[in-house]
Amino acid sequence: MRLATWNINSIRARAERAVAFLERSGTDVLALQETKCKDAQFPHEVFEAAGYEVAHFGLSQWNGVAIASRVGIEDVETGFATQPHFGAEPHLEARAIGATCGGVRVWSLYVPHGRALDDPHYPYKLEWLHNLRTQAAGWLEADPAAQVALVGDWNVAPLDTDVWDPAVFAGHTHTSPAERAAFSAFAAAGYNEVTRDFFPEEHKYTYWDYQQLRFPKNQGMRIDYAYLSPALRARATGVEIDRDERKGKGASDHVPVIVDLTD
């Protein structure tokens, strides 16, 4: 199985590009984030014409997550059980969707940004990660052989080498000690961040801001990751970061991260 994750930054603007990626890369299951549409607005027909089923969770023009699969989609779950709510009138945001695809429980995750260290969105982000980690640990406790993939835009740069200039991010979100600890807690719960195993070098970025010529200058961030359960990690044979998808007209500011799994 070839599993990919991609913050698409508006699926309606990039549906054709997403399907072209699927066909070119031979991806079987694609986890999408930041689809930016309601369920009724998702371009299902484009994916179905290419042979993919889609499960989508979107409530507004913000956030939104999806899974596209040509190996089946079963037991779709929108949001995880203890996912926290946010806002003046707290509501569940469309940031997590799970489905079983070809025997693998895939979760497409769009972790909250945090905005600023003194913003209410920051403790919300930490609670979101903590609750997901607790849930994920419980899945392994219930079934140590579970095939689980937690993939998506984590909005955390775990190492200084995951950002183009650590000094620029000092005192801001994504690199704070609390965020990094929340990210690392998934490893302590038994999961393996597989992209680091195959791409340990510096500057393997997955995101470049549209502003200030960040991509031509290679001033990026590595914030898209794949945590796999032990049983699934044993099946991983390689990882690709498709940097070319950041090129050309109409590109997302993120690129796909691809994980290859043996049968």
Q: State the pLDDT at residue 202.
A: 67
153 in catalytic set: yes
Is 7 assigned to a binding site?
Answer: yes
Tell me the pLDDT tens digit for each residue of 28-63: 999 999 999 999 999 999 999 999 999 999 999 999
Q: Residue 15 pLDDT more than 80?
A: yes
- Mark 167-192 as b/e (b = at least 16 C-beta within 10 Å): eebeeebbbbeebbebbebbeebbbb
Q: State the pLDDT at residue 200.
A: 77
254 in catalytic set: yes
Q: State the pLDDT at residue 64.
A: 98
Instruction: Indicate which residue of 44, 56, 174, 254 is catalytic.
Output: 254
Q: State the pLDDT at residue 89.
A: 83
Of 15-19, 173-177, 199-203, the one with minimum mean pLDDT is 199-203
Instruction: Indicate which residue of 122, 124, 153, 207 is catalytic.
Output: 153
User: Identity (one letter) of the amino acid at 231?
Assistant: A
Is 254 assigned to a binding site?
Answer: yes
Q: State the pLDDT at residue 203.
A: 67
Chain center to CA of 195: 12
Instruction: Indicate which residue of 52, 110, 122, 124 is catalytic.
Output: 110
Distances (CA, A) of 254 to 5, 18, 84, 153: 10, 12, 25, 9
Strand ranges across the sheet with 74-78: 74-78, 96-101, 104-110, 148-153, 224-228, 192-193
Tell me the pLDDT tens digit for each residue of 120-151: 999 999 999 999 999 999 999 999 999 999 99
The mean pLDDT value for 214-232 works out to 97
Beta strand segments in the chain, E: 2-7, 29-33, 53-57, 65-69, 74-78, 96-101, 104-110, 148-153, 192-193, 224-228, 236-241, 257-261
- Predicted TM-score of the model (pTM): 0.97
Tell me the pLDDT tens digit for each residue of 179-211: 999 999 999 999 999 999 998 776 699 999 999
Of 7-21, 91-105, 196-210, the one with minimum mean pLDDT is 196-210
Query: Rounded mean pLDDT of the chain?
Result: 97
For residues 18 and 12, is the Cβ–Cβ distance under 8 A?
A: no
Is 131 assigned to a binding site?
Answer: no
Please report which residue ranges of 93-145 form alpha helices under DSSP H: 121-142
How many angstroms separate the CA atoms of 95 and 80, rounded? 9
Give domain limits for the chain.
2-261
Question: What's the CATH number of domain 2-261, 3.40.50.10470, 2.40.70.10, 1.20.1270.360, 3.60.10.10?
Answer: 3.60.10.10
Is 253 assigned to a binding site?
Answer: yes
Is 155 assigned to a binding site?
Answer: yes
